[in-house]
Amino acid sequence: MCGIAGIYSINGSPVSNITGRIHQMADLLQHRGPDCTDFNIDSDSRFAFTNTRLAISDPMSQLTQPWSTNDNKFVLTFNGEIYNDLELRSDLASKGFTFKSNQDTEVLFNGLIERGPDFLDDIDGMWAFAFFNGHENSLMLSRDILGERQVFYHVNDNEIIFSSEIPPLLNQLQTHLSLDIDQVMFSLRYGATKPGETLISGIKKLNPGHILKVKNREVSTYRFTKLNPEIWFEFFESNPDEKTVENKFSELFSAVCLKRIPREIPYVSTLSAGIDSTLVSLYASNFGQTKIETLFATSNEDDLKSVEYASLNDKESSKKISGQINSIHHVANLDGKDAGKVLEDVASNSYDGMLEEGTAAFQMLGFKGRELGKKVMLISDGPDEFLTGYTSDRNFILGKNVPENKTEFTFPTNHQTNNIEIMNTLFPEYNFELTSSPFGTIDKCYESILGQMDISQLIALSYASYSIPDYNNLRSDRGFMGASIESRSPFLAPKMVEFLIALPQKFRFNHKYSSKSILRNIIEQKLGDYVSNRPKKGFSEPLWYNHDINNEIRLDEVIYDPQTLRILPFSPTFLDNPYSDPFHKIRWSMYALAKMNENLKSKGINFV
């Protein structure tokens, strides 16, 4: 895992001060790759790439990124992991390619030279990368199908600038930056901007499963891949029994977990005592046959004293599960002495539109992993979205709210935190009815299969289309990489996701379990019902709910400052009484907007 950034001349003319600029960008990505930083600067100053490396694949190798041929005709800067690199390496070697390292980056590099973007079809992994092809004078940016990694960019008449995060782009623009009010309003409702957008006008995010190409002075984007849940339709149409489906799940999940366990460095697996993290830890440990390390974390000490189910609270349950799978177990509290600093840092860098306070909890969790000497953490994002883990989704399914034409399907996603009524109360002059949302819909590339899918499958496909890439994965990437730790979720392996999307409704919830029934059945068989019957609970209470931390970051002082309230077009009635209930729902978002504004002003950048 790494940080990538670059500057590329669209018209082929030299880029002024290119060396100084690319070094400035790299300086702002050190947290993503603290092990090594290097550069590739074209001799004619037409492009410059940088890479800050978090050494995971072949960690002892002294060879650095960006990767290039001796004549600099091909150059790659890569952020991600290729889990089937050994198989791909063997195939490339049989075709005459030689390798200087064991890095997965070199596998991608040679594969792109041989086959171009078609090579991506064979990769099991996550990525965002930039690849220069000197033979055709082109630049390619790419992002994986589920958007586990991000790449942001800005295009003007002469150049394209790209980066793993937005601050390096802001550093380069150094002009009046325009706040995109439409995206701010959208983020206040959904916790994230529309896919492809950010809070800053002119700075875009590459969509998942897409390629951006610069060639012949033209910039174009296109979809290069999609998920294929239909490959499982015939299997489920054969009406397999519960045991057959569970065995197929286990076969797939065992394989993807094994692939996502680092071969060369130690890692830790989260273990909250919930269904999802328990399953990841169970399979990662090969059902207790392999010694692994697990981590339980909370942001509320009072919660640890409560009794919730079967006389065991979450911490006690996590310890019991750890004992059953024979793991080395760690317990951590997230609201420690650095929590205030992390909250301020996360808020000040929310330009990507991730206005959800959980990002800070992920970063604190990442720091706990680093304290244990780890660079990789297994997490468990995905099952709630794919297997009806949210009560609101289950109620929607039971209401049978499906249009006759399934291409018009839409539903209220779980992360739609503020409804239109609340937003209209706060901002009566803004017409939210005109703001359409991709969240809760399905990408048009899947239209041909929608007629064969039930409501629960449509919801899962919708989450995979938009929410998982541009809400969940944006949050986890910025959170964990802020602590220099790579997160990996086996549930987000594309082969696993295709299977989970295709699951008929009866395997998601039934008379016995109200959610994720296939997972709960497996857990009950392996560990007992004290885990399988546990109700769903959120990962962490927002850190700023802690009174001492709230005072440390001056949250109320900042958000009720008149300058902060002038950032958005609030109702005059509300401004007369800003302590009303509706405002409470957007307090963290307003704090983030205020800290971003303060951060830019301190650097002499006007935020209008």
186-237 pLDDT, tens digit per residue, is 999 999 999 999 999 999 999 999 999 999 999 999 999 999 999 999 999 9
Question: Length of the chain, please?
Answer: 608
| CATH homologous superfamily, domain 248-404+457-532 | HUPs (3.40.50.620)
SS3 of residue 529 by DSSP:
helix
Average pLDDT over residues 27-37: 95
Query: In this predicted structure, what is the pLDDT of residue 599?
Result: 85
Q: Rounded to 5 degrees, what are φ and ψ at 470?
A: -110, 5
- DSSP letter for 176, please: P
Query: In this predicted structure, what is the pLDDT of residue 307?
Result: 44
The pLDDT-based confidence of 161 (bands split at 50, 70, 90) is very high
| CATH homologous superfamily, domain 2-223 | Aminohydrolase, N-terminal nucleophile (Ntn) domain (3.60.20.10)
The pLDDT-based confidence of 583 (bands split at 50, 70, 90) is confident
> Within 10 A of 386 (CB to CB), how many other CB atoms are there?
25
Query: In this predicted structure, what is the pLDDT of residue 300?
Result: 66
Helix axis angle for 275-284 and 242-259, nearest 10°, is 70
Query: In this predicted structure, what is the pLDDT of residue 417?
Result: 80
Residues 550, 541: Cα–Cα separation, whole Å: 13
SS3 of residue 75 by DSSP:
strand
Query: In this predicted structure, what is the pLDDT of residue 434?
Result: 60
- If phi > 0 it is left, if psi is from -120 to 50 it is alpha, else beta; for residue 541 that is beta
Query: In this predicted structure, what is the pLDDT of residue 115?
Result: 96
Residue 20, beta-bridge partner list = none
Of 112-126, 296-310, 397-411, 446-460, which gets the smallest average pLDDT? 296-310
Of 6-20, 30-44, 199-213, 561-575, which gets the smallest average pLDDT? 561-575
**pLDDT, tens digit (0-9, with 9 covering 90-100), for 174-185:** 766 788 999 999
Asked whether the predicted pLDDT for residue 590 surpasses 50, the reply is: yes
Q: Give yes or no for a contact between 355 and 588, defined as CB atoms under 8 angstroms apart.
A: yes
CB within 8 A of 306, min separation 6: which ones? 313
Residues 502, 303: Cα–Cα separation, whole Å: 37
> Within 10 A of 53 (CB to CB), how many other CB atoms are there?
25
Residue 127, beta-bridge partner list = 80
- If phi > 0 it is left, if psi is from -120 to 50 it is alpha, else beta; for residue 72 that is left
- The mean of the pLDDT values for the chain is 91
Structure tokens at 132: 């220069």
**pLDDT, tens digit (0-9, with 9 covering 90-100), for 272-294:** 999 999 999 999 999 999 999 99
**pLDDT, tens digit (0-9, with 9 covering 90-100), for 530-543:** 888 877 666 668 88
Distance of CA 134 to CAs 6, 69, 217, Å? 16, 10, 14
Question: Judging by DSSP bridges, how do beta strands 267-270 and 293-298 pair with one another?
Answer: parallel
Report the chain's terminal Cα–Cα distance, integer Å: 34
CB within 8 A of 318, min separation 6: which ones? 271, 272, 273, 294, 296, 329, 331
Q: Give yes or no for a contact between 2 and 51, defined as CB atoms under 8 angstroms apart.
A: yes
**pLDDT, tens digit (0-9, with 9 covering 90-100), for 502-550:** 999 999 988 677 889 999 999 999 999 888 887 766 666 888 888 999 9
Q: Give yes or no for a contact between 33 and 193, defined as CB atoms under 8 angstroms apart.
A: no
Residues 345, 326: Cα–Cα separation, whole Å: 37
Structure tokens at 351: 């330009």
Domain ranges of the chain: 2-223, 248-404+457-532, 554-602
SS3 of residue 39 by DSSP:
strand
Residues 162, 51: Cα–Cα separation, whole Å: 12
Distance of CA 130 to CAs 6, 140, 222, 605, Å? 8, 6, 15, 28
Average pLDDT over residues 446-473: 96
If one compares 417 and 365, the residue with the highest pLDDT of the two is: 365
Structure tokens at 513: 């379990």
Residues 517, 473: Cα–Cα separation, whole Å: 24
3-state secondary structure 500-521: HHHCCHHHCCCCCCCCCHHHHH
